[in-house]
Amino acid sequence: MHNLVHSLKFDLHCRDEQQAFALRQAIAGGLQAMMAEIIDRVCARHIPANETVRIGRLDLDLGNLPSATLDEAFALQFSALFEARLVDQLQRQQHNGGPVTAIDTVLQVFTCFMQTGRLPWWADPDEYDLTSVCNDLIQRMPAALLAFFKQHTGNIRVWRRVVKQLDSGFRQFLFTQIDLLRQAQAAWPVVIEDIRLALLHTALPSAQSIPQLQPAALVSDQPVGGGTTVTGPAGSGLMARVLARLAQYAPGYQVYLLEHAPQLFAHAKQDNINELLSLLILQDLFPEQDKESGILKAQLKDNLHLPSGQLQQPPLTEPIGEPAVDLPETLPGPERIMIRDAGLVLLGPYLKPLFTSLGYWQDGAWHSPEAREKAVCLLHFIVTGNTTCKEYDLVLGKLLCGMPLQEPLYTGYTFDDNEIKEAETLLEAVIAHWTALKNTSVEGFRSAFLQREAMLFPRERDWQLVVERKTLDVLLESIPWGYGTLALSWNTYLIFTEW
């Protein structure tokens, strides 16, 4: 059984400053550990091991406690009052429908992740695997699962996360169960044929090649039927015409396109793929405009030099599916976020040189959205030494790289030998310049300082990080650079650290 306390607040009234200091020492030195033992013991007595109970808040008034026998009096009072209040809360929950079941907990974890990219504060990241979670929900709560996605039809972040984070089996489940996606999947060949017909007289110099044209070749400058090569203005504008045509379809088509984009655009350049993904968040596709990377139709026409009127041409087939519904997210904004890589703030002065040397940051801007995503994932490697990561472990990395916390990102990037070498060189440089670490190994530095739990919460326009303290932290006094206030050139906010 795991019992977690999100926050613990003591409100003490003392006769003088000396007593206040003594009580503070007593709380830090032993009372918190005593409280944890009492909570575990009382909860084990009243809550079955296979049930989950969540209590929003408990206020306990322990009354007057004698300072001479503080520990004993505190234990007696706290144990009695906590048990009484817990029993009362359990009775209330039983009256309102009973405790939360294990599968209910899994659903709550999943829906929280899909909306925010994070897990609930009470969820242990090591206990949840996305593939297993998806399989459990498909088998045990399919109706509730589908209800969530139907409720969030208009939430672009949810759908981006579906494509970037969830496996093909789960996506296929959605395509077969949600009307909008099922209809789009069935009509996909019609969409491709529409594009082929629309490009009949503009994309190729010879109409004879059209019957042999395959979807992947639509955006390729490689030879197509009969050895004819699409070059010059027709070839360079082909991708733009395909994108413009796809822009006219309903959101269901766009989700299905995102699923099949790697195959459809197998021979396209990476920049074209980026244009395609940007197109998927136009206002007429999703009601939620993404201000970070979204582009408007006028911008698309100017950037890709489309012929006049191309974007307004009506589709040859009617859009299928209902329009997306702009539903608000069911979760509030971030209050306090638990993270496990707080030591990243110690690397602040080294981040810009690292990202610049790798080409992620160039000429005062991120080279591409993918470069920033890769930077976030590389920070995870620096902390853990693992080349694989989960989005819910990347909160501080997103914050350091100026990425919105709820923005989905792809976590399947691979790093080449140079990227691995540069990351390890950074760690070696930190150890060398921080002379108090002496002969500390890279792994020792990771475990001692980088892999540290902390609480992250917003502070007006900035962010505050409160880090768990350990005995080794006396070495922080000798670190030759500051970390209390972190300002990075690409961020509009500061990160304040209390360590």
Write the CB contacts of 203 (distance below 8 Å, at least 6 apart in sequence): 218, 230, 234, 238, 241
> What is the band of 256 on the pLDDT scale with cuts at 50, 70, 90?
low
| Last residue of one domain, picked from the residues 48, 73, 95 | 95
| Last residue of one domain, picked from the residues 295, 312, 329 | 312
Strand 462-467 to 485-486 pairing: unpaired
Residue 152 in contact with residue 294, Cβ under 8 Å? Answer: no
Residues 359 and 456 in one domain: yes
Q: What pTM value is reported for the model? A: 0.67
Residue 352 in domain = yes
Residue 153 in domain = no
Residue 327 in contact with residue 155, Cβ under 8 Å? Answer: yes
Does residue 332 carry a pLDDT above 70?
no
Quickly count: other Cβ atoms within 10 Å of residue 5's Cβ.
Answer: 12
Does residue 209 carry a pLDDT above 90?
no
Residues 298 and 349 in one domain: no
Residues 73 and 221 in one domain: no
Write the CB contacts of 445 (distance below 8 Å, at least 6 apart in sequence): 427, 430, 431, 437
Measuring CA to CA, which residue among 147, 44, 56 is closest to residue 96?
56
Does residue 61 carry a pLDDT above 80?
yes
Does residue 421 carry a pLDDT above 80?
yes
What own/partner pairs with CB < 8 Å and gap ≥ 24 does 181-189 have?
181/252, 181/255, 181/256, 181/321, 183/252, 183/320, 183/321, 184/250, 184/252, 184/253, 184/255, 184/256, 184/320, 184/321, 185/256, 187/253, 187/317, 187/320, 188/253, 188/256, 188/260
Percent of the chain with pLDDT over 70: 66
Query: What does the alpha-carbon distance between residue 488 and residue 495 come to, in Å, rounded to a whole number?
Result: 9
pLDDT at 302: 37
Arithmetic mean of pLDDT, 439-454: 95
Residue 339 bridge partners (DSSP): 454
Measuring CA to CA, which residue among 307, 242, 306 is closest to residue 268?
242
Measuring CA to CA, which residue among 282, 308, 287, 316 is closest to residue 297?
282
What own/partner pairs with CB < 8 Å and gap ≥ 24 does 418-426 have?
418/358, 419/358, 419/378, 420/381, 420/387, 422/354, 422/357, 422/358, 423/354, 423/378, 423/381, 423/382, 426/347, 426/350, 426/354, 426/382
Residues 383 and 432 in one domain: yes
Does residue 439 carry a pLDDT above 80?
yes
Residue 284 in domain = yes
Does residue 334 carry a pLDDT above 80?
no
> Pick the residue with more confidence: 214 or 188?
188
Residues 341 and 259 in one domain: no
Does residue 91 carry a pLDDT above 70?
yes
Residues 298 and 353 in one domain: no
Does residue 281 carry a pLDDT above 60?
no
Weakest-pLDDT range from 41-45, 115-119, 404-408, 412-416: 41-45
Arithmetic mean of pLDDT, 28-35: 78
pLDDT at 58: 82
Domain count, the chain: 3
**How is residue 163 annotated by DSSP?**
H
Residues 360 and 490 in one domain: yes
Residue 8 in domain = no
Summary mean pLDDT of the chain? 74
Residue 144 in domain = no
Does residue 135 carry a pLDDT above 60?
yes
Does residue 351 carry a pLDDT above 70?
yes
Vertex 159: Cα angle to 259 and 256 (nearest 5): 30
Residue 172 in domain = no
**How is residue 224 annotated by DSSP?**
B
> Pick the residue with more confidence: 193 or 47?
47
| Last residue of one domain, picked from the residues 62, 95, 128 | 95
Residues 393 and 357 in one domain: yes
Residue 410 in domain = yes
Arithmetic mean of pLDDT, 466-474: 89
106 is written with which tokens? 């899994």
Residues 188 and 267 in one domain: yes
Weakest-pLDDT range from 141-150, 189-198, 282-291, 400-409: 282-291
Does residue 182 carry a pLDDT above 80?
no
AA letter at 480:
P
Residues 342 and 491 in one domain: yes
Residue 188 in domain = yes
Quickly count: other Cβ atoms within 10 Å of residue 97's Cβ.
Answer: 7
Residues 353 and 407 in one domain: yes
Helical spans, DSSP H, in 368-478: 369-384, 395-400, 417-433, 442-445
User: Domain containing 478: what range?
Assistant: 337-498
Query: What does the alpha-carbon distance between residue 456 and residue 408 come to, in Å, rounded to a whole number?
Result: 19
Does residue 357 carry a pLDDT above 90?
yes
Residues 218 and 350 in one domain: no
